[in-house]
Structure 1
Amino acid sequence: MALTVQEIDARIALLQEAVASGELTVEYDGRRVTYKDTKSLTDAINYFQRLRAQIPSTGPAPSSADRGSYASFVRD
């Protein structure tokens, strides 16, 4: 099952909240997952961040992007 960008972002946020609160159990999509320890939670965060990084961005190009140049033609 392929996750959407929104689903990946939601899971990252949920896992980060769990780390911040000291919880080891998280729920998503009607599923409950209990991690062994905080390291397991941070490993899961890293996994989803890597997964998120593989999805190409569809937003506008950053201002630092090479815009190239355009040719102009004039009739004589």
Structure 2
Amino acid sequence: MPIHVSETELLAVQDKTNRHLRLRELLLEHSSEANMVVVTLPIPRKNIVSAPLYLAWLELLTKDMPPILLVRGNQTSVLTFYS
């Protein structure tokens, strides 16, 4: 079964899609020769962005790039130390 992103959804999140396109341009310009790139994982808003569109954004950011580590926090400060 093919996965489909509707035209309505694409229009509704056009600004976010353009932002991801611009981020890709900047990653290619500044990080295409890096050994590894660390990027904050974009977090989709529930019931606004479908899973297929979200995965398309991730594919857009990472395709033909050096290895990329997508990281995400939970907005909680943590202090880690070893004694």
User: What is the TM-score when the length of structure 2 is the normalising length?
Assistant: 0.30
Higher relative contact order (CA 8 A, sep 6+): 2
User: What is the TM-score when the length of structure 1 is the normalising length?
Assistant: 0.32
